[in-house]
Amino acid sequence: MSLTKQQKLGFCAGCSDDFYNGKNSLGVSECWALESAKVCTRYRLGWWIEPTVPGAFQKVRTLECHHAPGHYAHYERLPSFAKAKGEQP
């Protein structure tokens, strides 16, 4: 399934590079990664959740280019104790 530019922009909120989607005084109107961006699954941990509880990481869909340091992780990088029993990527 191919996403429209508007649909992709919806995933850009919270990304440090969203600044380049016309939200700057530099005249840059679109992030360089937007055109080729693809949706992927990552895992997010809220600051209010204890990270040592199995299933604490929430499965979310975002763009693979989304830059929000410290907010997302790929399934392969989750610690084993954080994966819910029987959960698959």
Q: What is the pLDDT of residues 4-50, one digit of tens each?
A: 999 999 999 989 999 999 898 999 999 999 999 999 988 887 777 77
Please give the tally of structural domains in the chain.
1
Would 28 be classed as within a structural domain? yes
Q: Identify whether 68 is part of a domain.
A: yes
Question: What is the model's pTM?
Answer: 0.74
Residue 89 domain-assigned? no
Q: Which domain holds residue 13?
A: 5-82
Quick check: is 88 in a domain? Answer: no
pLDDT of 55 > 80? The answer is: no
List, as one string, the DSSP characters of 29-85: -S-TTTTT--EEEEEE--TTS-TTSTT-SEEEEEETT---TTTEE-GGGS-GGGSPT
- 87 falls within a domain: no
Q: Which two tokens stand for residue 70?
A: 């410290």
- Does some domain include residue 34? yes
**Domain contains 23:** yes
